[in-house]
Amino acid sequence: MTSVRERVRVLREAIARHDYRYYVLNDPEVPDAEYDRLAAELRALEAAHPELVTADSPTQRVSGEPSREFREVEHRVPMLSLDNAFADEDIVNFDRRVRERLEIDGEVDYNCEPKLDGLAVGLVYEDGELRVGATRGDGLRGEDVTANLRTLKSVPLRLQGKGYPRLLEARGEVFMTLKGFERMNAELEARGEKTFVNPRNAAAGALRQLDPRITATRPLEIYFYGIGAVEGGSFAGRHSELLAMLRGWGLRTSPEIRLERGVAGLLSYYRLIGERRPSLPYQIDGVVYKVDSLTQQRDLGFVARAPRWAIAHKFPAEEEMTTVRSVEWQVGRTGALTPVARLEPVFVGGVTVSNATLHNVDELHRKDVRAGDSVIIRRAGDVIPEVVRVIVERRPPDASPVVLPAKCPVCGSDVRRIEGEAVARCTGGLVCPAQRKESLKHFASRRAMDIEGLGDKIIDQLVDSGLVHDAADLYGLDAAKLATLERMGEKSASKLAAAIEMSKQTTLARFLFALGIPNVGEATAIALASHFRSLEALQGADADRVEEVPDIGPVVSTAVVEFFAESKNVDVLRRLVAAGIQWPVVGGADEVNQPLLGKTFVLTGTLPNLSRTDAEARIRRAGGKLSGSVSKKTSYVLAGENPGSKLEKARELNVPIIDEVEFKAMLRE
Ligand code: JCF
């Protein structure tokens, strides 16, 4: 019997250690199979000897029957909330108040951590054993969720090591990772059960489950961030040391915790975590700063329900609610109809959002977004805003489902949806002004013909006024015609005319990409250009010949052949070439001789012998790129007489500055 008792003890210790290594340190010591064997052996021994089962046994994480309701627990020390701040200025004031109260001249050390979007809990350990775990509740009394908290593998049932107080209340935030949340929702959906809106709600739902067996299946985690009641022991020194002690006893703390000095340190921490926010595996809504010295914390004390020694510096919310004014259809370059929700403007993720894409018909119907609906909008990082879901409970009674129009809302042509495809398309082709505008925007874009200054608004005007029908018409424009457009001064008009002129010097790959042949992206355009070497050769090729190009299959070859079979396209091509668009012969002397390939130039001042347009044309011909402003990505600044501020900027950023002689040497002239 003693040997069974001993074996049970050894197994429990080993399993608790492996749980700690796996769930707290993220650094497992043994493979899962070994862990499973130990757990199975312990379960078998406990089944055979029920008298040996104890509450802190790892087999007892899930215990008991579902309860009818949660018992109320009074917190021995109130669970405080934190003051919130949004602006840097609030943090400057916070730091000033701290220093004034402490009557110190120097800088204050702060402990900084991300503020998790979860639920605060307090876990009371007596003689190292987990006794009670409670939610924050109203701060004075919460709910006893011990049975549920015990199911979290990152919650130790027993503290490790020595030196912990006889009674220790560890406080932390229970949360769900985004991955865990998505996996759980997918499972719920597959079973036809109700899903959760966000990880925070899912975590709250899981923690307040009356049946701990359900909680055990939910991917909950915890980071501890401080302490509440302490008896039979005390803490002195620093908050950062306190956290290190918690870690030593097996209580997991955030790996993002840093010590920072003074307000400058706080703000740089805020920026750092703000940048990392989109890539963190869980949602956070800000960062928390705490005065690190426990003596200073004591001297500062509390106001009402929040400490004077801590503050939450919040990020702009990534999700907000607003209403849908209408759902409209946008027609893209290839005629694809995209439903877009026009919104009551809402500030979310740091910007004001008034449109959100619904991607395609299927997505629109899946989310069932209707005019008048209240919706949750999400904008995380730089990701385009999207409609997360509709709050169906708030739907006005007269809101009717959006249907795919039978006719294109821009040109009235038939809309066709190919069976099995998500996209519906306008069949109007270049008859459709929307498709024409989008094609022109693509043609002029940076990676295509790179016509600087030919933006969306100008293209809209050019098409609407009838000045431009297709890409070739762009080359019939001059400064005088451009100056007739709204908000177009003479100077901008002649600048734009020069940019259009300059774009005639291009490469075959850019030109092919600019044509907007369906399924021909940049990489395919390059492959086609280097295989066929001339426009004529490509135009004369049949599908089999096109498929000789590496990585090109029937989808692309069909698109290419169909494009060149269309007489309207051939006509535009002919007019483009007639307008003077040219490129170095691929694989010919010019192309091989591209000494500036991959280099970006910025011009400033007047060169002794070369006009600006001349210099720009030479850079393009030699494979180089032009930019209007100096950045770290600029390869060279070509400077002449009376240079502007671009020269200073180049010096600042250590960008090499060259003159005309050096430039000509680079061109091997
Ligand atoms: O991560 C959190 N949500 C969080 C909440 C972190 C902290 O350090 C906190 C907190 C609430 C209160 N500290 C206090 C004092």
Q: What are 102-139's pLDDT values in tens digits?
A: 999 999 999 999 999 999 999 999 999 999 999 998 88
Identify the three-state secondary structure at position 378. Answer: strand
pLDDT at residue 65 in the model: 64
- Residue 135: both structure tokens together: 């939610």
228 lines ligand 1 (CB under 6 A): no
> 178 alpha carbon to ligand 1 midpoint, in Å?
20
Find out whether 353 and 345 touch, Cβ atoms under 8 Å. Answer: yes
Find out whether 85 and 311 touch, Cβ atoms under 8 Å. Answer: yes
Q: Where are the alpha helices (DSSP H) in 356-486?
A: 361-367, 433-444, 456-464, 471-474, 479-482
Q: Which amino acid is at 332?
A: G
Output phi, psi for 332, to 5 deg. -90, -175
Following DSSP, what letter does each residue of 572-635 receive, concatenated? HHHHHHHTT-B-PPTTSHHHH--TTTT-EEEEESB-SS--HHHHHHHHHHTT-EE-SS--TT--
Instruction: Give which of 26, 32, 94, 19 is closest to 59, Cα–Cα.
Output: 19
Q: Which of 225, 227, 284 to mutate to test the pocket of ligand 1 (most atoms within 8 A of CB)?
A: 225
pLDDT at residue 67 in the model: 67
- pLDDT, one tens digit per residue, over 480-496 is 999 999 989 999 999 99
pLDDT at residue 384 in the model: 87
Q: Which amino acid is at 236?
A: A
Query: pTM, whole model, 2 decimals?
Result: 0.62
- Kindly name the residue from 115, 314, 441, 646 that is annotated as catalytic: 115
Residues ≥6 apart with Cβ < 8 Å to 170: 122, 123, 125, 224, 226, 227, 228, 246, 251
d(C-alpha 160, C-alpha 149), whole Å: 18
155 lines ligand 1 (CB under 6 A): no
Greatest pairwise CA separation for the chain in angstroms:
102
d(C-alpha 126, C-alpha 146), whole Å: 14
Instruction: Give which of 340, 343, 347, 348 is closest to 380, Cα–Cα.
Output: 348
646 a catalytic residue: no
d(C-alpha 510, C-alpha 175), whole Å: 49
116 lines ligand 1 (CB under 6 A): yes
Nearest CA to ligand 1 atom 4: 115
d(C-alpha 302, C-alpha 316), whole Å: 26
Q: Which of 82, 294, 305 to mutate to test the pocket of ligand 1 (most atoms within 8 A of CB)?
A: 82
pLDDT at residue 178 in the model: 93
pLDDT at residue 34 in the model: 80
Identify the three-state secondary structure at position 104. Answer: coil
The H helix count followed by the E strand count for the chain is 26, 24
Nearest CA to ligand 1 atom 5: 115
**From the first residue on, what is the mean pLDDT of each consecutive set of 10 residues in the chain (669 residues)?**
89 90 77 83 92 88 72 92 92 97 96 95 97 92 94 96 96 96 92 85 91 92 97 94 97 97 97 93 95 97 89 89 94 93 91 92 93 90 84 90 94 88 86 94 93 94 94 95 92 94 92 93 90 93 92 91 91 94 76 76 92 85 84 92 90 92 84
pLDDT at residue 223 in the model: 98
d(C-alpha 254, C-alpha 511), whole Å: 52
Q: Which of 81, 111, 173 to mutate to test the pocket of ligand 1 (most atoms within 8 A of CB)?
A: 173
Question: What dihedral angle (degrees, nearest 10) is formed by the CA atoms of 381, 117, 307, 172?
Answer: -130
Burial readout 221-232 (b: 16 or more C-beta within 10 A, e: otherwise): bbbbbbbbebee
d(C-alpha 90, C-alpha 267), whole Å: 11
Find out whether 76 and 171 touch, Cβ atoms under 8 Å. Answer: no
Output phi, psi for 122, to 5 deg. -125, 130
- Residue 136: both structure tokens together: 């924050």
- pLDDT, one tens digit per residue, over 592-632 is 567 788 789 999 999 998 888 888 888 887 878 888 889 98
User: β-strand 72-74 against 167-176: which pairing, if any?
Assistant: unpaired
> 110 alpha carbon to ligand 1 midpoint, in Å?
14
pLDDT at residue 146 in the model: 96
pLDDT at residue 665 in the model: 86
Find out whether 31 and 22 touch, Cβ atoms under 8 Å. Answer: no
117 lines ligand 1 (CB under 6 A): no
pLDDT at residue 119 in the model: 93
Q: In order of start, what are the domains of the chain with their CATH numbers?
A: 2-60 (1.10.287.610), 84-314 (3.30.470.30), 318-427 (2.40.50.140), 429-502 (1.10.150.20), 508-578 (1.10.150.20), 600-668 (3.40.50.10190)
d(C-alpha 444, C-alpha 234), whole Å: 70
Q: Which residues pair with 279 in a beta bridge?
A: none
80 lines ligand 1 (CB under 6 A): yes
Nearest CA to ligand 1 atom 2: 115
pLDDT at residue 197 in the model: 76
